[in-house]
Amino acid sequence: MASISRMTRWTIVAASVAMMAAACSSGGSDNKTDSSKGGALSGRGPITLATGKDTSGNLQNLVNTWNQQHPKEQARIIELPEDADAQRQQMVQNAQTKSNAYSVLNLDVVWTAEFAANQWIAQLPKTQFDLTKFLPSATKTGEYRNNLYAAPWKTDSGLLYYRKDLLDKAGITAPPKTWAEMQQDCAKVKGVNCYAGQFEKYEGLTVNFSEAVESAGGVVVGDDGKPNVNTPQAKEGLNFLVNGFKSGMIPKEAISYKEEESRRAFEKGNLLFYRQWPYAYALSNKKGDSKVADKFAVAPLPGLSGPGAPTLGGHNLAISQFAPNKATALDFIKYLTSEQTERANLIASSEAPTLASLYDDPELQKKFPYLTTLKASLQNAKPRPQAVRYNDVTTAIQEAAYSALTGKSTTDQALADLQTKLGQLITP
């Protein structure tokens, strides 16, 4: 129930921020087409898929299968940077110039409102997707004002990756449920850094900050739709990270980690615990590339006094308003979100699918014991605000968190400043 009320709260925030931005913005109003109102998506022919760097290593295989079946409607991947903020920037610039270079956009769940409100993406025909089959939390992230703008493709939730071999050797039989237990475990295992996450100043820091605050019982935005980060709980959460850097629990170099840097550190055998998304599970189990293949497991994130609160991530597929071959783009999205493709992608990459049935498939559960942990973690995952001005919200969070982690401001000051900024950006 707690997660439902949290979802409602974020939605309220989203709506109010969206209204605020719509009132201030004149962007995109001259770009109206039939498809912006859910009308026909027409035109067939070659298309492109603009996406962040494919860390799964499997995207080209999925596209190849489509291309074999659609010789006249070939899809070409346009790979954007690895860092979520840099991806967004390129997609926004492209949309602002009304470029037709990108047909399908692989949108982070936090960008739907901005792209939909600016009419940079076409409304998708809801009835052509069997949305009852998708995880409701994932579908919600592709909606804006109750209309579907991006089809749920990959979902995501923070997990604790841990070196099971080293815990076993130290006689520790279960992964830690609290931060204190984690630190006690670290004290027993020598020669390896204790913990890391993603602390570079980008979207990943917003995620790690939100998880720390919410895992200590705090909120970024309260049930009343108001930001509420200047609280003792939020301080405890941010201090877990600030003190972690000060004490060496988190290695210094983690301040420049994004997903891939932290994955590489874990795979080199440099970390006992770290927070990561599901995609790394398959990669870190590849013998040869990874020194920790078959030596690690995943668990729910720990928190201050019990299990932590992961953040909901993921990516959805949208159609650029400026793309010529929208009918092909729609079919391509249906193909990528089909059960067959999601299943194939899960098997090859361990990325979290959005189709609910795959989590309960006995064959898949046998192959991927981590699916059960992932499902539970997704059920607890807290969404970030669905705000049109999300970029301003996340920039404020990143600045506050980064200045506290690097010692430029105290935790108290950083959270007081953040509260003021978020108060200006988010009104219930």
Residues that bind ligand GLC in the complex, under the rule CB under 6 A: 84, 108-110, 156, 203-204, 207, 259, 277, 313-315
Q: Could you tell me the smallest distance in angstroms from the CB atom of residue 153 to ligand GLC?
A: 10
Looking at beta carbons only, is 193 or 208 nearer to ligand GLC? 208
Q: State how far the Cα of 389 lies from the Cα of 394, in Å rounded to an integer.
A: 9
- H-type alpha helices, 146-272: 164-169, 179-188, 203-215, 232-247, 259-267
Looking at beta carbons only, is 204 or 353 nearer to ligand GLC? 204
Q: Which amino acid is at 47?
A: I
Q: Could you tell me the smallest distance in angstroms from the CB atom of residue 416 to ligand GLC?
A: 26
Q: State how far the Cα of 77 lies from the Cα of 74, in Å rounded to an integer.
A: 10
| Nearest Cα residue to 359 out of 101, 155, 206 | 155
Looking at beta carbons only, is 143 or 259 nearer to ligand GLC? 259
Strands of the 296-299 sheet, one edge to the other: 193-196, 271-276, 159-163, 296-299
In a 3-state reduction of DSSP, which class is residue 52?
Answer: strand
Q: Could you tell me the smallest distance in angstroms from the CB atom of residue 31 to ligand GLC?
A: 26
Place of tokens 């990270």: 241
| Nearest Cα residue to 175 out of 158, 160, 193, 156 | 160
Looking at beta carbons only, is 67 or 395 nearer to ligand GLC? 395
Looking at beta carbons only, is 45 or 81 nearer to ligand GLC? 81
Q: Could you tell me the smallest distance in angstroms from the CB atom of residue 49 to ligand GLC?
A: 16
Looking at beta carbons only, is 154 or 326 nearer to ligand GLC? 154
Q: Could you tell me the smallest distance in angstroms from the CB atom of residue 386 to ligand GLC?
A: 12
Q: State how far the Cα of 111 lies from the Cα of 40, in Å rounded to an integer.
A: 23
Looking at beta carbons only, is 110 or 265 nearer to ligand GLC? 110
Q: State how far the Cα of 360 lies from the Cα of 210, in Å rounded to an integer.
A: 29
Q: Could you tell me the smallest distance in angstroms from the CB atom of residue 221 to ligand GLC?
A: 17
Q: Could you tell me the smallest distance in angstroms from the CB atom of residue 301 to ligand GLC?
A: 15
Looking at beta carbons only, is 378 or 418 nearer to ligand GLC? 378
Beta-bridge partner residues of 76: 48
| Nearest Cα residue to 73 out of 325, 360, 251 | 325
DSSP assignment of 238-294 equals HHHHHHHHHHTSS-GGGGG--HHHHHHHHHTT-EEEEEE-TTHHHHHT-BTTBTTTT
The residue at minimum Cβ distance from ligand GLC is 313
Q: Could you tell me the smallest distance in angstroms from the CB atom of residue 331 to ligand GLC?
A: 24
Looking at beta carbons only, is 73 or 83 nearer to ligand GLC? 83
CA distance from start to end of the chain:
22
Q: State how far the Cα of 326 lies from the Cα of 332, in Å rounded to an integer.
A: 10
Tokens of 233: 């709980």
Q: Could you tell me the smallest distance in angstroms from the CB atom of residue 298 to ligand GLC?
A: 16
